[in-house]
Amino acid sequence: MNMIEKVIDWLRIFRAQTAADVFLLVLLPYLVAGGEFFSWFTLTLAFWSILVHHISFGHNTVLDTMLGWDSKDPNKRHHPLISKRVRKETALKVVSIGFFICTIAAITFVYYGSGNSYYSMAFFSLFIVGGFIYNNGISKISVWDFVPITICFTSLSLFSFFLIAKEFNEIIILIAVYIALLIWFQIGVEGEIKEIEIDDESNMLRKLGTKIKGSTFSMGSSIIYPWILKLAGLAVAGYIVYKYTMEWYTIVTFGVWAILAILFCYRLTRKRIWDRKKALRDMAVEEIISIFLLSFILIPIIGLLEITIILLVGIFYFVGMNALLWHTRLAPKV
C-alpha cells in the first residue's frame, strides 16, 4: 500500500466527508457572536473544527470496530479497520492522542478568546462527554442514542459562541435549538433508517414500527416522529427570520430551502422499494439543505461574503472528499 492509499484509508476512518457539517456548526455561532472572520484566530478555529471532527468520528469508527458492531455489518466490510488495512490498536492510539491535542487547542482558544471562558469550557466538556457516551456503544444498544450525540454537537456550537460572547441571548438559544433538532434528525431518523436492516442493534424507528417487509420500506405510524422534528426545525428557522433577519432575500431563500427540506424528508419517509444507496444519497442532500438553510438565513448578521466563502469551502470539501474516499458524488459508502 503506498502513502496516498494509507492517507485515504485514515480519512475513511475519520469519515472525513462529513467534516464540512462540523466546520459550519462551529463557525456560524462564533460569527453570530461577533467573531472577526478575516483573522488568524478564525482560520485556526476553522482548521481545528475539521480536526475535532476527524478525531471524534474516528473514535466512533474505532470503538464500533473494537466492540464488534461494524464486523457484523455487511455494509462495512470494505472499511480499513474491518479489512485490517489499518490496525485497530494503531487507530485507537491516534484518536487518543488527537483528543489530547484538540483539548489543549480548545483551552488555548478559550485563553485567547474574549468571551465567557466558564461557559465555553463547560460546553466543550459536554461535547467531549456526550461524544464519549455515544461512541462507547450507546449508539448501538440504546434507542435513546440521539440524546448524548445531540448534546455533544449542540454543545460544540455553544463552545465556539462563548469564545466571543459573554452571555446567552435569544438568537443563540434559537440557533442551538435548531442545531439540536438537526442533529436529532440526523441520528434519530437518518441514522436509524441507514441501520434499519441490522436486527441486533437497538433502533428507535424499528421500535415505533418502521420495517422492511420483503423489499418494501415502510414507516407505518412512526412516520409522525421525523415529521415533528423536521417541521419543528423549520418553525425555529422561520422564527429566526421573522425576529432577526427579515429581508426579502432571507424570506425567499428560507421558503425555497424549506420546501426542499420537506421534499427530501418526504423522500426519506415515504413507503417505497428499499434501496440503501438511494437512501444514503437522499440523507446527504437533506443534511446539506438543513445546514445551508441556517447559513442563508444568517446572512444579514454574518455577512454575504463570509457566508459565501464558508459555503463554497463546505461544498468543495464535501464533494471532493466523497469523490476521493468513496468514488461517489454525494453519498459515502458507509
213 SS3 class? strand
User: In this structure, is residue 308 part of a structural domain?
Assistant: yes
Helix axes 276-297, 248-269, angle to 10 degrees: 160
272 SS3 class? strand
Q: Of the given ranges (27-31, 75-79, 102-106, 263-267), which has the lowest mean pLDDT?
A: 75-79
| Banded model confidence at residue 1, pLDDT cuts 50, 70, 90 | low
| Banded model confidence at residue 173, pLDDT cuts 50, 70, 90 | very high
User: In this structure, is residue 265 part of a structural domain?
Assistant: yes
User: In this structure, is residue 72 part of a structural domain?
Assistant: yes
Segment 111-130 shows an average pLDDT of 97
Segment 6-23 shows an average pLDDT of 93
User: In this structure, is residue 95 part of a structural domain?
Assistant: yes
User: In this structure, is residue 127 part of a structural domain?
Assistant: yes
CB-side neighbour CA atoms (13 Å) of 163: 29
Domain span holding position 58 = 3-326
Q: How many distinct structural domains can be found in the chain?
A: 1
pLDDT given for residue 299 in this prediction: 97
pLDDT given for residue 327 in this prediction: 83
- What is the percent of the chain with per-residue pLDDT over 90, rounded to a whole number? 87
pLDDT given for residue 328 in this prediction: 80
Nine-digit cell at 63? 470503538
- The DSSP call for residue 34 is T
User: In this structure, is residue 332 part of a structural domain?
Assistant: no
The pLDDT tens digits of the residues spanning 255-292 come to 999 999 999 999 999 999 999 989 999 999 999 999 99
Segment 297-310 shows an average pLDDT of 97
- Report the mean per-residue pLDDT for the chain: 94
Nine-digit cell at 10? 485514515
Q: Evaluate if residue 107 carries a pLDDT over 80.
A: yes
pLDDT given for residue 143 in this prediction: 94
| 267: CB partners within 8 A, 6+ apart | 282, 286
Length of the chain (residues): 334
User: In this structure, is residue 120 part of a structural domain?
Assistant: yes
User: In this structure, is residue 333 part of a structural domain?
Assistant: no
Residue pointed to by grid coordinates 461577533: 34
